[in-house]
Amino acid sequence: MFMVYGPLDWFGEVNSWMTRAFAGAERVFEVIDTAPESYDDDEAVRLPVLEGRVTFRDVTFGYDKSKPVLKGIDLDI
């Protein structure tokens, strides 16, 4: 009985996975097929040139505090 039930249960799971995959793909294709928005507006105001800087000095980072991935990094953006 178990030798028959196992594969049948697996096919049921595959059907569920496929249904969810098709639903997700349909949503993705809806976004891809959406027409781009038009940004031509007569009342639009052009922004001035923005200037700025972000500076990181001696940065240490890691998902686990005891195992840092980045050590002593300096970065200017």
42 or 20: whose pLDDT is higher? 20
Domain count, the chain: 1
Q: What whole-number distance in Å separates Cα of residue 57 and Cα of residue 76? A: 9
**Percentage of the chain with pLDDT > 70?**
100
54 or 15: whose pLDDT is higher? 54
Mean pLDDT, residues 43-61:
91
Q: What whole-number distance in Å separates Cα of residue 52 and Cα of residue 77? A: 9
Highest mean pLDDT pick, 9-13, 17-21, 42-46:
17-21
Q: Is the pTM of this model over 0.75?
A: no
Mean pLDDT, residues 21-46:
87
Q: What whole-number distance in Å separates Cα of residue 68 and Cα of residue 77? A: 22
Would you give the DSSP letter of residue 36? Answer: P
Q: 22 is written with which tokens? A: 């098709």
The domain containing residue 71 runs over which residues? 2-76
